[in-house]
Amino acid sequence: MSLADEVRRILLEHPEILVEALTAQALYEALAKLTPWEKLATREDVRALASRLDALENEVGEIRREAATKDDVKALALRLDALEKDVGEIRRNVATKDDVKALALRLDALGARWGVVSEEAFREGVRELLRETGYSVERWVYFDSAGYVFGRASEVELDIVVKDGRRIAVEITSAVKRGDLSAIRRKAELYAKATDASLDRVLVVTPYIHDRNPQYVPALAKELGIQIVAPGEAPEA
């Protein structure tokens, strides 16, 4: 057997030899021997062509992403409809002037509890709210020399609200405790005695009940003839 036949036999039995041998460099060198050098692209030419192909593929991909199909238009229309619904919902939920005032009063009350806003500033805010709803608000200040309210001589303050001929004693406070209720009741009694004017009811206007059992305080207030309401809340008839 000739050497050529032996080589042919080995290559047929082991084709992986060809795969390993035919590298890009080997092919390029073989082509260089068969093809005139001036017609053969250099490796730099091949790299440049590959780069241009990559750039072209990227451009095509970008165009495909940006092209608006019918489905894209439909999806956009659906998004616009959803946006219009969201805007309508926001308009329905926009806070009214009264909502803002009520929130401001609650913030003032919270500030008064922690010493950031004065208690008197909170009270004046509630008075203004009462005036805007048609009530006449009078601030009653009296020196309790007998100590009827607090058990010692002290100055007593109470807001008197008048509307449609009805006179209501109002205690405005940033927070109320169960221990405050008896003193408030005595304030109302002292007012009626000192002014000889009858009261139709006694209210406590406060956004917070400071007690270990908040539900108990309104019940106790009711027993004493006092109603607790939040700022801006209409009292029971």
pLDDT in tens, 140-166: 999 999 999 999 999 999 999 898 889
Q: Please, what are the domains in the chain?
A: 3-90 (no CATH), 97-229 (3.40.1350.10)
In terms of Cα–Cα distance, which of 134, 136, 144, 109 is closest to 123? 109
Dist CA 112 CA 50 (whole Å): 74
Query: What percentage of the chain exceeds 70 in pLDDT?
Result: 46
For 237, the token pair is: 């008839």
Dist CA 209 CA 118 (whole Å): 18
Mean pLDDT of 171-186: 92
For 226, the token pair is: 């006092």
Per-residue pLDDT tens over the stretch 1-35: 555 566 556 555 555 445 445 444 554 555 455 44
Dist CA 9 CA 131 (whole Å): 113
pLDDT at residue 120 is higher than 60: yes
Per-residue pLDDT tens over the stretch 223-232: 999 999 876 6
Q: Is the pTM of this model over 0.95?
A: no
